[in-house]
Amino acid sequence: MDLLERITRLKEQKKAIILAHNYQRPEVQDLADFVGDSLELARQAATLKDCRLIVFCGVRFMAETASILSPEKKVLLPVSEAGCPLAEMVTPEQVKAMREKHPGAWVVSYVNTSAEVKALSDVCCTSANAASVVRNVPVSKILFFPDRNLGWYVQQRVPEKEILVWDGFCFVHERFTAAEVKQVREKMPDAEVLAHPECLPEVQKLADGIYSTSGMLKRARQSPAQKIVVATEEGLLHRLKKENPGKEFYSLGTAKICPNMKKTNLEAVRLALEREEPAINLSEELLQSARRALERMLKFL
Ligand code: 13P
Ligand code: SF4
């Protein structure tokens, strides 16, 4: 039996569902039952019915989010070291200190945070809904954690609110430069340039549109452009090309890779299914307190 057949058989035996983020390796994306951005994956996890196990092919904060929203299911993260350095750039103590300094402000946390930080937050957001979540917050002062570039993006779109932005960043997206956008404009003047809101403000300003990863997929389907250049992790190119065979897709400048997103391969998925580990194991108390901010996000939309 080959590896894919073994995974399929194990999946059926164990009533498992495989979720994968848009940055996963192509073969992992092709194997998954559902591939999406952080918001779509959170929604899927919250509504999945006939399964006992979720195998989450992504990074830790995403698997934790699935576990928080689907506490009756066992959630496996095939490679337990697959973390997100951005999520580690703010600690619960730092959030508490900011809250004390700014009483009355709401804490809005990007989902790229630990469960402990979510538990101290009023509401979460993803790159797909950050501006609309902040607009809907019922107070005028916001403490936004932890990504400074997404925070800048929100500040531009919701100028009526005072938004204090934490100084975290994604080291993958910060590597895209304004010079790379200018070069592509010269070399491919007819191409559309799409950027993720984790990119630097100067890159966002020069792009034709700013989108989450699934927002880019939607734009690529609808755009009249034949050539599309994306400033996001290179794993997204797989779906872009697969779903739009008549169009051309490129990474902006050199391809930027998130090493944590590439840690999961088919063998790791097989092992995780066979052993039913590594599993996300958050305490009942933490699950409950982190759920409030995530559920509020899902209701706000
Ligand atoms: P999306 O929610 O846009 O897929 O982004 C997730 C992420 O980790 C970006 O680096
Ligand atoms: Fe985290 Fe950046 Fe990797 Fe996304 S691309 S998982 S934000 S390090």
Class in CATH terms, 173-251:
alpha beta
Residue 275: partners with Cβ closer than 8 Å, 6 or more residues away: none
Using the atom order of ligand 2, give the atom closest to the CA of residue 23. Answer: 5
Q: Is the shortest distance between the CB of 85 and ligand 2 below 6 Å?
A: yes
Domains 3-82+261-282 and 173-251 equal at CATH topology level: yes
C-alpha closest to that of 212 among 224, 202, 222, 199: 199
**Is the Cβ–Cβ distance between 200 and 178 less than 8 Å?**
yes
Query: Structural domain boundaries of the chain?
Result: 3-82+261-282, 87-170, 173-251
Residue 173: partners with Cβ closer than 8 Å, 6 or more residues away: 149, 196, 198, 199, 200, 231, 232, 233, 256
What's the confidence (pLDDT) of residue 36?
A: 97
In CATH, which of 3.40.50.10800, 3.20.20.140, 3.40.190.10, 3.30.2350.10 is domain 87-170? 3.40.50.10800
Q: Is the shortest distance between the CB of 127 and ligand 1 below 6 Å?
A: yes
Torsion sign (Cα): 10, 16, 17, 21: negative
Quote the CA–CA distance of 17 and 19 in Å, as a whole number. 6
Residue position matching structure tokens 């299911």: 73
Q: Name the 3-class secondary structure at 237.
A: helix
Which ligand ends up closest to the CA of 212?
1
Q: What stretches in the chain show pLDDT beneath 70?
A: none
What's the confidence (pLDDT) of residue 50?
A: 84
Bridge-partner residues for 230, per DSSP? 194, 251
- CB burial readout 44-60, b (16+ within 10 A) else e: bbbebeebebbbbbbbb
The CATH number of 3-82+261-282 is 3.40.50.10800
Global pTM reads 0.97
What's the confidence (pLDDT) of residue 49?
A: 84
Q: Is the shortest distance between the CB of 38 and ligand 1 below 6 Å?
A: yes
Q: Is the shortest distance between the CB of 29 and ligand 1 below 6 Å?
A: no
The DSSP element (H or E) to which 161 belongs, if any, is none
What phi and psi values does residue 167 have, to the nearest 5 degrees?
Answer: -100, 30
Quote the CA–CA distance of 61 and 87 in Å, as a whole number. 7
Which ligand ends up closest to the CA of 169?
2
Ligand 1, atom 6, lies closest to the CA of 38
C-alpha closest to that of 145 among 168, 129, 161: 168
DSSP 8-state assignment for residue 170: -
